[in-house]
Amino acid sequence: MDQLVPTEKYSPYRFFSADEWAGFRADTPLTLTEEEVQRLGSLNDPIDLGEVRRIYLSMSRLLSAHVETTQALYALRKRFFNAADSATKTPFIIGIAGSVSVGKSTTARILKELLRRWPSSPKVDLVTTDGFLYPNDTLRQRNLMERKGFPDSYDVGALLRFLSSIKSGQANVLAPVYSHLTYDVLPGEFVTIDRPDILIFEGLNVLQPGDLPRDGKFIPFLSDFFDFAIYIDADEDLIHSWYIARFMRLRETAFRNPQSFFHRYSQLSDDAARAIAEGLWANINLKNLRENILPTRPRADLILRKGADHLIEKVALRKL
């Protein structure tokens, strides 16, 4: 039984075409300009104001309802427990998952800008899991460089401590910084997250549940801290083509920087560079997608499925 097939009787999702989904925006205002949207888009991930109108305004409206309802529930619980500290704020956390090259970063950045422009002007922060990867030296020592991006390449303890601190309303929580230029965590560099109203947490495996303990002990997963989870989806063949196209584009841009971890690839012929990209896809990213990322798709509250033009064609929303 495939619960993500729209005709499946027992699916926990409701399915919509992009045009149907666009109708749910109601009177949600468009607060972004074309120039801003272009700036927020990722390399080889085209997006325009039309896509924002079709997909993201309805998402903004839906998330606004979820945030308001969750905040009301938090207030009710405080009264229930006779909590005296009314100043403690519990952030609403949105998790965004999906394969490499599928457009998670674009979705996260567009959402951040839309949410922070709500009439209530909430404080919205965005953190990616890249900074929580083990440093390259550690990955080499553990023979994990060829598994970078797989669940075992992350400092899961640090991830859980970070999300737990955020969810507890702690001030000035530090998140490590990752450099895509050097392809490594930047030692001693952090961003400070100080009690946001909403935190967007984006990464390949953020919906990964891990192994359940046989003795029934509590083992937290990252998604335990999420109030809403989004999965960016596309056919495997499309993601493959997007990954190769992005690699070849980077070879002409960022890889030319002598400080780039991948600088050596900029010196190769087109055929040799494409062969490298195909190997990285087949041996690392495709394996990660099949083994770890795609199996988490049914754990999302909202699934955005893209077509060949990188635009979202279908939406699946979990039933309440």
Q: State the SS3 of the chain.
A: CCCCCCCCCCCCEEEEEHHHHHHHHCCCCCCCCHHHHHHHCCCCCCCCHHHHHHHHHHHHHHHHHHHHHHHHHHHHHHHHCCCCCCCCCCCEEEEEEECCCCCHHHHHHHHHHHHHCCCCCCCEEEEEHHHHECCHHHHHHCCCHHHECEHHHECHHHHHHHHHHHHCCCCCEEEEEEECCCCEEEEEEEEEECCCCEEEEECCCCCCCCCCCCCCCCCCCHHHHCCEEEEEECCHHHHHHHHHHHHHHHHHCHHHCCCCCCHHHHHCCHHHHHHHHHHHHHHHHHHHHHHHHHHHHHHCCEEEEECCCCCEEEEEEECC
Ranges of each domain in the chain: 13-318
The amino acid sitting at 53 is R
pLDDT in tens, 197-216: 999 999 999 999 877 777 88
Tell me which of 87-96, 127-136, 274-283 is least confident: 87-96
Position 46 scores a pLDDT of 82
The model's confidence at residue 10, banded by pLDDT at 50, 70 and 90, is confident
- Among residues 106, 104, 105, 108, which one has the least CA distance to residue 94? 108
Q: Is the pLDDT of residue 269 over 70?
A: yes
Compute the average pLDDT of residues 123-148.
Answer: 97
Per-residue pLDDT band at 3 (split at 50, 70, 90): low
User: What are 22-50's pLDDT values in tens digits?
Assistant: 999 999 999 999 999 999 987 778 899 99
pLDDT for 281: 97
% pLDDT > 70, the chain? 96
Strand partners, 148: 150
CATH code of the domain occupying 13-318: 3.40.50.300
Flag the least confident range among 12-21, 83-92, 205-214, 247-256.
83-92
Q: Is residue 144's pLDDT more than 60?
A: yes
Question: What is the largest distance, in Å, between two alpha-carbon atoms of the chain?
Answer: 68
Q: Please report which confidence band the pLDDT of residue 1 belongs to, taking 50, 70 and 90 as the band edges.
A: very low
**Model confidence at 2, in pLDDT bands (50, 70, 90)?**
low
Predicted local confidence at residue 82, as pLDDT: 81
pLDDT score of 224 more than 90: yes
Mean pLDDT of the chain: 92
pLDDT, tens only, 166-206? 999 999 999 999 999 999 999 999 999 999 999 999 999 99
The model carries a pTM of: 0.94
- Return the pLDDT at 253: 87
The confidence score (pLDDT) of residue 87 equals: 56
Task: Say what the pLDDT of residue 214 is.
Answer: 79
More confidently predicted of 241 and 41: 241
Q: Tens of pLDDT along 60-116?
A: 999 999 999 998 998 888 888 887 655 567 899 999 999 999 999 999 999 999 999
